Amino acid sequence: MTSIILLSVFGIINLFVGFAKNKKVLLPLVLLFLLVVFGVNLLDWNDTQSYFSNMLTIDNYAVAFTGIMTLSTLLLLPFSQRFVDEADSNLAEYYSLLLFSLVGSVMMVSYENLIMLFIGIEILSIAMYILAGSDKRSLRSNEAALKYFLMGSFFTGIMLFGIVMIYGATGTFSIAEISAAQAGIGPDGLMNSMFVLGILVLVIGISFKISAAPFHFWAPDVYDGTPTFFTAFMSTVVKTAGVAAFYKLMVAAFAAAYTTWFPTLVAITVLTLVVGNIGAVIQTSFKRMMAYSSISHAGYLLMALVAFNEASDASILFYSAAYSTATIAAFGVLKMVQDQRNSADYEAFNGLGKTNPLLAFAMTVSMMSLAGIPLTAGFFGKFFVFSAVLQNPDMLWLVILAVILAAVGIYYYFRVVIAMYMQPAANEEEIEVGSFASFTLIFITILTILLGIAPALVSELI
């Protein structure tokens, strides 16, 4: 709870600091804020508390996911260095919007009431709509913002529709009471149809937010058009919050209606896996590939939801952590390459292994992690998800499909590795990397390998 308050207050303070002449103070300040939030958040560990007459509950689940999302933002921020140098006049606003959207994401993992879920998603989304369009002079960025906003509002409406249906059937917004009220609905009749429709519509709404197929059409264009730094935030923190909220909703509110939504969820998962992985293969732009990759990882995360057993939450947690660290490193390197070589295509990475060994190595480790190759965190992410699913032997086919698609994944992730190490560079110019960004990249790389060797550090948290 304190983390929500702190983040909101810090966001407002940050806006005022924006009036200061020297923009260089902003980045250290935001980092400090986030460190404080990260620390304060950990104080709530093993101390489950409910707030605002049961609107929010801070339990270990919430603390763990808040921790991961705060840490992701922390690791991401050093890559905004170039913004600072360019003295963009709206820098303070961008940072504040990031903090506000983090508020939304914390609400999404700690809600106890559908209203809070809705408010959390909206706080998160509205900030993201603005950030998507933050590169004001770029047509692509404007397109991204508009597309994201229009589609996002539409699906928000759909979600609200679902929430209202469920309210109509059960008479409550509280997820615990919804869970209890299900028994009274009965198998037939209007109430039941309303309830079932409500669940399905809600599932569709959240699927949009985590860019699950077939509600993913916005994702490639929006990810591509959004400035790389915010794309990284979008595909890590937003996705983590979305999946965590999704799982919490299904467990706490609709566990009893498992058979109703299970086939839908399986269909969404399969489609997401296929669309994400196959779509990524045909891209020529690394950034667009990462957009599809984020769709495919939404698919792997949904597999943990399909498993729906005691191993699910830990595997979602670990997978999000592994996916976020690797994705941040990938976008971090991409941003630096893109800034100086003015392209986000695979070719822009040519010869990077020679000019910038550190960037190339960090990128290689992150690609290996995303591809799920051992020695990196991504391997254990896939491992935990697959084990969770296989606890139900009937779902073996899903694991086989995922295994085949994971092999497809290696194809597109390694294209950039090949470009970096095996293709000659067009120009041998070294890419400038800030010392802070290099330090962060080294830290992320070590973290990825560490989690790939000792996964128990995260997987045994919840």
Partner 1 sequence: MNTALLLFWPALAALLVLLIKGQGAKKVAFVAALVEFALSLFALSAFNTQSGATQLALSLPWIESAGISFSIGMDGISLLMVLLTTFLVPLIILSSYKHDYKNPNVFYALILFMQTGLIGVFVAMDAFLFYFMWEVALIPIYFIAAVWGGTDRIRVTFKFFVYTIFGSLFMLAAFVYLYLQTPGTHSSDVNAFYQLSLSSESQSWIFWFLFIAFAIKMPIFPFHTWQPDTYTESPAQATMLLSGIMLKMGIYGVLRWLLPVVPFGVSQWDEVVLVLAIIGIVYASIIAIRQRDLKRLIAYSSIAHVGLIAAGIFTLNEQGLQGGVIQMLSHGINVVGLFFIIDIIFSRTNTREITSLGGITQNAKGLSIFFMILMLGSVALPLTNGFVGEFLLLSGVFQYNAWFGGVAGLTIILGAVYMLRMFQGVMFGTKSELTENFTDLTLNEKAVLIPLVIMVFWIGLFPNTFLSISEPAVNNLLSIINR
Q: Pairing between strand 49-51 and 56-58?
A: antiparallel
Q: How many residues bind partner 1 (CB under 8 A)?
A: 29
d(CA 60, CA 44): 8
Closest CA to 153 of 216, 235, 208, 101: 208
What is the biggest distance separating any 2 CA atoms in the chain, rounded to whole angstroms? 71
Q: Report residue 275 as tokens.
A: 């669309």
Structure tokens at 360: 């190339």
Nearer to partner 1, 208 or 361 (CB): 361
Looking at beta carbons only, is 193 or 392 nearer to partner 1? Answer: 392
Q: How far is the CB of 324 from partner 1 (least distance, A)?
A: 20
E-strand spans in 321-461? none
- When asked if residue 391 is in the footprint of partner 1 (CB under 8 A), the reply is yes
By the rule CB under 8 A, 383 interacts with partner 1: yes
> At closest approach, how far in Å is the CB of 137 from partner 1?
38
When the beta carbons of 332 and 452 are compared against partner 1, the nearer one is 452
Q: In angstroms, what is the minimal distance from the CB of 414 to partner 1?
A: 7
| Interface region with partner 1, contact rule CB under 8 A, candidates 20-28, 42-50, 71-79, 369-377 | 369-377
- Name the residue nearer to partner 1 (CB basis): 362 or 368: 368
Q: Beta partners for 199?
A: none
- CA-closest candidate to residue 46, choices 25, 36, 60: 60
Residues in 98-157 that interact with partner 1 by CB under 8 A: none
**With contact defined as beta carbons under 8 Å apart, do 359 and 352 qualify?**
yes
Residues 387 and 377: their CA atoms lie apart, in Å, by: 15
CA–CA distances in Å: residue 271 to residues 216, 260, 267, 305, 419: 10, 19, 6, 15, 30
- Which listed residue (156, 296, 312, 459) binds partner 1 by CB under 8 A? 459
Q: Is 456 in the site for partner 1 (CB under 8 A)?
A: yes
Q: What is d(CA 272, CA 278) in angstroms, rounded to the nearest whole number?
A: 10
Residue 281 as a binder of partner 1 (CB under 8 A): the answer is no
DSSP H or E segment with residue 56: strand 56-58
Would you say 132 or 373 has its CB closer to partner 1? 373
φ and ψ at residue 155, rounded to 5 degrees: -75, -25
Task: Tell me which stretch binds partner 1 (CB under 8 A): 65-73, 260-268, 279-287, 396-404.
Answer: 396-404
Contact between 414 and partner 1 by CB under 8 A: the answer reads: yes
Q: Is the bond leading into 214 cis (omega within 30 degrees of zero)?
A: yes
Exactly one of 375, 426, 442, 446 binds partner 1 (CB under 8 A); that residue is: 375
Nearest by Cα to 349 from 411, 302, 418, 435: 418
By the rule CB under 8 A, 442 interacts with partner 1: no
Q: For partner 1, give the closer residue by CB, 242 or 381.
A: 381
Looking at beta carbons only, is 264 or 387 nearer to partner 1? 387
Question: Is 407 an interacting residue with respect to partner 1 (CB under 8 A)?
Answer: yes
Please select the residue that binds partner 1; options are 144, 270, 290, 406, rule is CB under 8 A.
406
Task: Give whichever of 98 and 419 is closer to partner 1, judged by the CB atom.
Answer: 419
Rounded CA-CA distance 221/285 in Å is 12
Which residues contact partner 1 (rule: CB under 8 A)? 368, 373-375, 379, 383, 386-387, 390-391, 393, 396, 399-400, 403-404, 406-407, 410-411, 414, 418, 421-422, 454-456, 459-460
